[in-house]
Amino acid sequence: MGSRRRPGKPTGEIGHVSVDPHSRDSDFVKVKFPTTKGEIEQYILDSAIDNVRQAGHNLYRLTSAAIQNVERDFDFTLPTDRGLQYLDLMEIKPPPGKYSDAPGSYWVWDFAEAVYALDPPKILSLWFKS
């Protein structure tokens, strides 16, 4: 009988984007990610919150720590000063090509345009889960 162990989310030579609040660019920071999907999601959110906090801001106007949700739901529930908000993380990379061929830093605007250019029904299905 095969193993019932849930496979880990594949990770290679990857990292997160570090945004410089005083310029129009960002840097790709290579890191050793955790191996499970939930741990990776928590790491990504914590990195974003910490990065913005270092610039003197409160990302999402959080009033307490983000709550990680179960699978098949939004990734996080965010307690904010406007009530509960919901966050689903999304992986993007600059097209075209392989991850291994991608540069180590990017213009933030290019990322925004890539997300905006996605198929609208796909984006809406991510944002408005029932």
Prediction pTM value? 0.59
Whether the Cβ atoms of residue 94 and residue 110 lie closer than 8 Å to each other = yes
What single letter denotes the amino acid at residue 4?
R
Cα–chain-centroid distance for residue 69?
15
The per-residue pLDDT for 14 is 66
pLDDT 10s digits, 39-80:
989 988 998 899 889 889 998 899 999 999 998 888 999 999
Nearest-Å Rg of the Cα atoms of the chain is 16
Residue (of 10, 50, 6) closest to 29 by Cα position: 50
Instruction: Fill in the DSSP letter of residue 12.
Output: -
